[in-house]
Amino acid sequence: MTTAKTPANFTELGLISPLLARLTELEYQQPTPIQAQAIPSALAGRDLIAGANTGSGKTATFALPMLQHIVEQQGGTSKGGKGNYVTGLVLVPTRELAKQVADSIKSYSVHFNGAVKTVAVFGGVSANTQMLALRGGTDVLVATPGRLLDLISSNAIKLDRVKTLVLDEADRMLSLGFTEELSALLALLPKQKQTLLFSATFPEEVTSLAHALLNNPVKLQLQSADASTLVQRVFTVNQGEKTAVLAHLIQQNAWRQALIFVNAKKHCEHLAEKLAKRGIKAEVFHGDKGQGSRTRVLDGFKSGEIDVLIATDIAARGLDIEKLPVVINFDLPRSPADYMHRIGRSGRAGEVGLALSLIDHEDYHHFGIIEKKNKLRLEREEVAGFEVDASVAEALANVAKPMAKPAGSGKKKNKNKDRKPSAAEIWLKRL
Ligand code: AMP
């Protein structure tokens, strides 16, 4: 495992002048640690598994070398007919991330003067427009897996000439939810290719899987909860008082914006209604909303027109909302990894950020697990005026004590007998 070293400047990393000129325009003064570490290996054609904090510049880390290879080796789609092929394929878990990543890649390509074509394809919008965009092939395709499979079955695109595959949010892409679609796509890709895996969190299971997918990869791990840019706080509240505490925090703190996470689509609307009764206007963002509404709301939040957004975990991955001051976990995420992804929407690119979690006594134990898995230990605080009832505080103090075992629990169970296979086991069988 390679460790972080002082970042070089972009010129030293071996990038070509059209890219360097663009980075200067974007005011990227020096590479972030993951960029400094990973770009030379990616330029050298190595496979890569990279773990780095959310908001640490991962998109440029894979996009810049991929663009450089395309321009140097193939010359881009403008240099002759390429049929309906794609050279660089980036797979992402959500529609919004597909659009965001494609926009970044287009922005990095401006000085190639149209020689590099980038297209984003994702569900929820017309496939016809995307088919038209894919005509004549594309250099970089950023896609969600389901829509990509649909487009392949309509012969709109072929994957057998892909030279670079990127799995962004790789732990999510390799989780059970995407197994069917991703294994179908991997079967269509050529064996000989460069594969780059990026995520803020890499559970052990995914790391073992990665070895089956990658060829002698360079491994980089630059993660650390950077206390100087993202402050995490946790507030203990009485059951039934979360909404009142949330409204109080929003009104007291006058944050420019706030992103609030809940665990279910219908909770988004419920919470928005309850906040409205307290004079706080909030918009909602979840998977049951039409794509038009999703785009409008996210654009409104990114541009600062919307102050308070209530979302499910579809907003947890990769979204880059400039200078977002605070993320609030109204409900705790089920998975400890998702906690890191959610809070990573704030405190990006070295900005100061704040992540708050509201926990009542039902959340207390689970928050302990989230802390343990993410190697955190946060002080439990209370919000003035909403102090936790003494009886609850006493019960909470006992949460850590082991519970008495029920009668008959002494028998040893064969743990493996009824256990469902893990994502890694399912994957490895398919490879
Ligand atoms: P990402 O992790 O790729 O979503 O990037 C997070 C944010 O950091 C984006 O707004 C990027 O434009 C920005 N960014 C990426 N690399 C750099 C850099 N070297 N210097 C300054 N900002 C950067």
Q: Are residues 219 and 250 in the same domain?
A: no
- Find out whether the beta carbon of 142 lies less than 6 Å from any atom of ligand 1: no
Cα angle 311, 303, 96 (rounded to 5 degrees) comes to 50
> What's the half-sphere exposure (Cβ side, CA atoms, 13 Å) at 160?
2
pLDDT score at 423 = 61
- Find out whether the beta carbon of 58 lies less than 6 Å from any atom of ligand 1: yes
Amino acid letter at 124? Answer: G
Q: What is the number of domains present in the chain?
A: 2
Flag whether the pTM goes above 0.75. Answer: yes
d(CA 326, CA 343): 8
State yes or no: pLDDT of 172 exceeds 90.
Answer: no
Are 379 and 258 spatial neighbours (Cβ–Cβ below 8 Å)? no
- Find out whether the beta carbon of 56 lies less than 6 Å from any atom of ligand 1: yes
Domain boundary, last residue among 163, 194, 223 = 223
d(CA 140, CA 158): 12
168 C-alpha vs ligand 1 centroid, how far in Å?
15
pLDDT score at 405 = 42
Q: Are residues 98 and 41 in the same domain?
A: yes
Atom of ligand 1 nearest to the CA of 100: 4
Q: Are residues 174 and 307 in the same domain?
A: no
Q: Are residues 272 and 355 in the same domain?
A: yes
Per the DSSP assignment, residues forming a β-bridge with 355 are 232, 327
pLDDT score at 70 = 96
Ligand 1 atom 20: residue of nearest CA: 28
State yes or no: pLDDT of 358 exceeds 80.
Answer: yes
State yes or no: pLDDT of 225 exceeds 90.
Answer: no
pLDDT score at 317 = 86
DSSP secondary-structure letter at 70? I
Q: What does the buried/exposed string (b/e) look like for 338-364 if buried means 16 or more CB atoms within 10 Å of the residue's CB? A: bbbbbbbbbbbeeeebbbbbbbbbebb
Q: Are residues 116 and 174 in the same domain?
A: yes
Q: Are residues 260 and 358 in the same domain?
A: yes
d(CA 119, CA 127): 13
Ligand 1 atom 12: residue of nearest CA: 57
d(CA 382, CA 388): 7
- Find out whether the beta carbon of 31 lies less than 6 Å from any atom of ligand 1: yes
The rounded mean pLDDT for the chain is 87
pLDDT score at 56 = 85
pLDDT score at 428 = 58
Question: Is residue 217 situated within a structural domain?
Answer: yes
Q: Where are the beta strands (DSSP E) in 263-379?
A: 283-285, 308-311, 326-329, 353-359
**What confidence tier does 1 reach under pLDDT thresholds 50, 70, 90?**
very low
Atom of ligand 1 nearest to the CA of 10: 19
Q: Residue 120: name the closest of 136, 134, 135, 107 by CA.
A: 134
Ligand 1 atom 5: residue of nearest CA: 57
Are 243 and 271 spatial neighbours (Cβ–Cβ below 8 Å)? yes
Q: Are residues 182 and 267 in the same domain?
A: no
Q: Are residues 290 and 342 in the same domain?
A: yes
pLDDT score at 64 = 98
Q: Residue 31: name the closest of 2, 60, 53 by CA.
A: 60
Ligand 1 atom 6: residue of nearest CA: 55
3-state DSSP call for residue 52?
strand
Domain hosting 85: range is: 10-223
Choose the weakest-confidence range: 176-185, 293-302, 411-420.
411-420
The percent of residues above 70 in pLDDT, for the chain, comes to 85
H/E run at residue 218: strand 218-222
350 C-alpha vs ligand 1 centroid, how far in Å?
9
Q: Are residues 108 and 236 in the same domain?
A: no
State yes or no: pLDDT of 403 exceeds 90.
Answer: no
- Find out whether the beta carbon of 33 lies less than 6 Å from any atom of ligand 1: no
Are 232 and 378 spatial neighbours (Cβ–Cβ below 8 Å)? yes
Amino acid letter at 271? Answer: L
227 C-alpha vs ligand 1 centroid, how far in Å?
18
215 C-alpha vs ligand 1 centroid, how far in Å?
28
Residue 230's φ and ψ, nearest 5 degrees, are: -125, 115
State yes or no: pLDDT of 3 exceeds 60.
Answer: no
Place of tokens 């209530």: 310
User: How close are the terminal C-alpha atoms of the chain, in Å?
Assistant: 25
CATH number at residue 196: 3.40.50.300
Q: Are residues 48 and 152 in the same domain?
A: yes
Are 354 and 228 spatial neighbours (Cβ–Cβ below 8 Å)? no
- Find out whether the beta carbon of 55 lies less than 6 Å from any atom of ligand 1: yes
Question: Is residue 1 situated within a structural domain?
Answer: no
